[in-house]
């Protein structure tokens, strides 16, 4: 459960960073001393690089969340099986003590 929250927080951070980078790129475009065409090209390349890195981070976070969920499910199943075996043993022991 906490891993899902962590994955969401990472995703929100990446989205916020991407948004901030785009806003910064827009401001840079408005105040850049270079020609507009050259500046727009740099900003476009930077935005493409940033988007690619953000996508990779989101993919990694998603995979980490899947792995954590799989581990939690497995541990819950194992715990459930141990509890079930313990209950069965307790019932059998109770029956044998009662003479059934």
**Residue 87 and residue 78: Cα distance in Å, rounded?**
14
Q: State the pTM of this model.
A: 0.49
pLDDT in tens, 45-100: 888 888 888 888 888 888 888 899 999 999 999 999 999 999 999 899 888 888 76
**Residue 8 and residue 13: Cα distance in Å, rounded?**
9
Mean pLDDT to the nearest integer, 8-18? 81
Domain chopping of the chain, boundaries: 2-98
pLDDT in tens, 35-47: 778 878 888 888 8
Half-sphere exposure of 71 (CA within 13 A, CB side): 10
**Residue 15 and residue 31: Cα distance in Å, rounded?**
25
- Give the orientation angle of helix 2-31 with respect to helix 36-98, to 10 degrees: 170
Tokens 């499910």 belong to residue? 73
* Cβ–Cβ under 8 Å, residues 64 and 3: yes
């Amino acid at each position: 459960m906490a891993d899902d929250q962590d994955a969401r927080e990472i995703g929100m951070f990446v989205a916020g960073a991407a948004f901030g980078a785009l806003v910064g790129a827009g401001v840079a475009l408005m105040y850049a001393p270079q020609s507009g065409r050259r500046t727009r090209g740099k900003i476009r390349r930077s935005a493409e690089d940033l988007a690619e890195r953000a996508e990779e981070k989101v993919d990694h976070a998603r995979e980490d969340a899947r792995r954590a969920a799989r581990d939690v499910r497995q541990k819950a199943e194992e715990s459930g099986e141990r509890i079930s075996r313990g209950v069965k043993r307790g019932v059998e022991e109770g029956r044998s003590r009662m003479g059934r």
